[in-house]
Amino acid sequence: MDEEKLAPPSAGAATASIDVALSALPDVDPSSPAHPIHWHPAKKWSITVVYSLLQTFVALSTTTFVSAEPLARARYDSSTQVVALGQSMFVVGTAVGPAFLGPLSDVGGRKWVYVGSIAAYALLNVGAALARSLAMLVVFQLLAGAAGSTAVTNVAGTIADLFGDADGAAQPMALFVVSANYGPGIGSPVGQLIAENENMGLPWVFWINVIIGGAFAVVLCFVPETLPRAVILEAAKKHGSADGSDAAVLEPRVDLLREARFVTSMAFRIMLTEPVVAFLGIYNGFAYGLLFLYLDGVFDVFVVNNGLSPLSADLTFLNVVVGVTIMFAFVPVQTWFYKRDRGRNGGVGRPEARFLTSLLFVWGFPVSLLWFAFTCDGSVSFWSPVVAGGLLGFCDPLLWLAMLNYIADSYTNVAASAIAAFLIPSFLIAAACCHLGILMFDNLEAKWAMATLGFVSFGLVALIYVLYFFGARIRSWSKLARKH
């Protein structure tokens, strides 16, 4: 491969560059008997559940530290904003990791990327537990976030390996979204329990990650590889023969570092040149950031205004768990609408049809936030803002799932890179929200802090409607997006 082909292409050369990337990582014929798509459903779902639990565990780390921040302030004698770097840098790490771990798993296989990165995650938490200064803690959190991001980066790809087309993968992908939301919902109460236990303290926030992360690293050694190319190659070697698609897979791979570098650059190129992906990433960052903004307001809303204990206040965050569970049960309804739309469109699925139910439920963002804002002052039962948060816990994951499917449908040739391009700004904005929330609740009443977020979220409503009605036209201007 020439260096010229590895250089960032001009708009006119974009299609040729994509062809280079695809030739480097050729598709595998799904009709091959060894393809993971043909494995027994019980085996496929077992693998999906294991990796979803991994996602829950890593996502839990994003909020466990928040409840233990008072311990960190006392231990390191620092301000709230400085201590919050321990959380925000972890989130920044999850933004950096996908740009490298995703391409690495596409080139060499997913299994050992999982094992190696989660083992590294466990070891890095040892450093966080033993950190002698806040700066050391922040650095270890940043690196741990990057290592742990494999759960975000690769689980969606693993599901695609196992279930193939978007219809077959709809419910497993919904389980992935559920697992990503269970972790933060559980993490805050867990952090509070650790903070209140006199025999544990701040280091145990990280020692628990070491224990569970180490156990996962061992278990994942026994989970089979799912990257189709690697699986078919292994099957061909085992049987001593190869034909058809297997022959293509067995072709020697050269310059793997160059190929990984190219795929990595594609993620950043899409982020900078594809407005659809960029805007979805920005607004998903806002939606993800609500998680941390909510946590920053828990004390004011439920302890100060409603008289709950700190642990009881953190338990209100389980409304997210309830909301996302209901979302998982609702996904077949969206799948039915999508299939009906495809039938009416001559059998061709429109990416915009992924937003059919979101046209209604995206209104849940401003409604739930304004509902929360104007009932959180203690004048009514605390159950009112709890239920409002539960509504957001339903609408947010449903829209996130729609965004993931929309991007995968629109950028079929570079789907992994497009999703990475979508996630990078999402996590960076969420990291900023870790600090923005502190400022908002320090300088505004809880009511007006949440109301401000509610008014801003009307922009998200507008974005979804623009994509639904004008998405096909916008895709026609792109050199990368699917046109039909």
Secondary structure of 168-203 in the HEC alphabet? HHHHHHHHHHHHHHHHHHHHHHHHHHHHHCCCCCCH
For residue 77, the SS3 value is: coil
What is the reported pLDDT for 101? 76
* Contact present, 369 and 460 (Cβ < 8 Å): no
CA distance 145 to 98: 10
- Higher pLDDT among residues 105 and 334, named by residue: 334
- Give pLDDT tens digits for 171-203: 888 888 888 888 887 887 888 888 888 788 888
CA distance 60 to 382: 25
Q: Which residues contact 261 (CB under 8 A, 6 or more apart)?
A: 6
Cα 311 versus chain centre, distance:
27
CA distance 478 to 216: 41
- Higher pLDDT among residues 141 and 153, named by residue: 141
Tokens of 96: 């950096």
Reported confidence tier of residue 262, pLDDT bands at 50, 70, 90 = low
| Predicted structure pTM score | 0.81
Q: What is the DSSP code string of 437-474?
A: HHHHHHHS-HHHHHHHHHHHTHHHHHHHHHHHHHHHHH
Length of the chain: 484
What is the reported pLDDT for 241? 54
The end-to-end CA distance of the chain, in Å, is 31
Nearest residue to 34 (alpha-carbon basis) of 346, 246, 180: 246
Which amino acid belongs to residue 68? A
pLDDT average, residue stretch 293-313: 81
What is the reported pLDDT for 73? 85
Most confident of 256-265, 269-278, 413-422: 269-278
Nearest residue to 443 (alpha-carbon basis) of 296, 316, 313: 296
CA distances from 306 to 64, 116, 171, 200, 299 (A): 23, 45, 38, 28, 10
Tokens of 292: 């941390």
Task: Report the chain's mean pLDDT, rounded to a whole number.
Answer: 81
CA distances from 295 to 73, 315, 427 (A): 17, 11, 16
H-helix or E-strand containing 206? Answer: helix 203-220
Q: What is the DSSP code string of 393-438?
A: HHHHHHHHHHHHHHHHHHTGGGHHHHHHHHHHHHHHHHHHHHHHHH
Least trusted range by pLDDT, from 89-93, 115-119, 200-204, 443-447: 443-447
For residue 7, the SS3 value is: coil
| pLDDT over threshold 60, residue 484 | no
What is the reported pLDDT for 22? 41
Reported confidence tier of residue 122, pLDDT bands at 50, 70, 90 = very high
Reported confidence tier of residue 244, pLDDT bands at 50, 70, 90 = very low
CA distance 396 to 386: 15
Tokens of 448: 């007006």
Kindly list the structural domains of the chain, giving each domain's residue range(s) and its CATH number in brackets, ordered by start. Answer: 26-253 (1.20.1250.20), 266-484 (1.20.1250)
pLDDT average, residue stretch 109-115: 88
Q: What is the DSSP code string of 284-312?
A: HHHHHHHHHHHHHHHIIIIIIIT---HHH
Q: Which residues contact 135 (CB under 8 A, 6 or more apart)?
A: none
What is the reported pLDDT for 17? 41
pLDDT average, residue stretch 203-210: 91
| pLDDT over threshold 80, residue 116 | yes
* Contact present, 63 and 86 (Cβ < 8 Å): no
What is the reported pLDDT for 304? 85
Least trusted range by pLDDT, from 91-105, 266-280, 452-466: 91-105
Nearest residue to 186 (alpha-carbon basis) of 300, 72, 318: 318
What is the reported pLDDT for 445? 81
What is the reported pLDDT for 24? 45
What is the reported pLDDT for 3? 37
What is the reported pLDDT for 127? 93
Tokens of 3: 């260096």
CA distance 96 to 111: 20
| pLDDT over threshold 70, residue 441 | yes
| pLDDT over threshold 70, residue 454 | yes
CA distance 305 to 173: 38
* Contact present, 264 and 108 (Cβ < 8 Å): no
Reported confidence tier of residue 254, pLDDT bands at 50, 70, 90 = very low
| pLDDT over threshold 70, residue 362 | yes
For residue 254, the SS3 value is: coil
* Contact present, 420 and 104 (Cβ < 8 Å): no
Reported confidence tier of residue 260, pLDDT bands at 50, 70, 90 = low
For residue 1, the SS3 value is: coil
Per the listing, tokens 């046109």 go with 483
What is the reported pLDDT for 6? 34
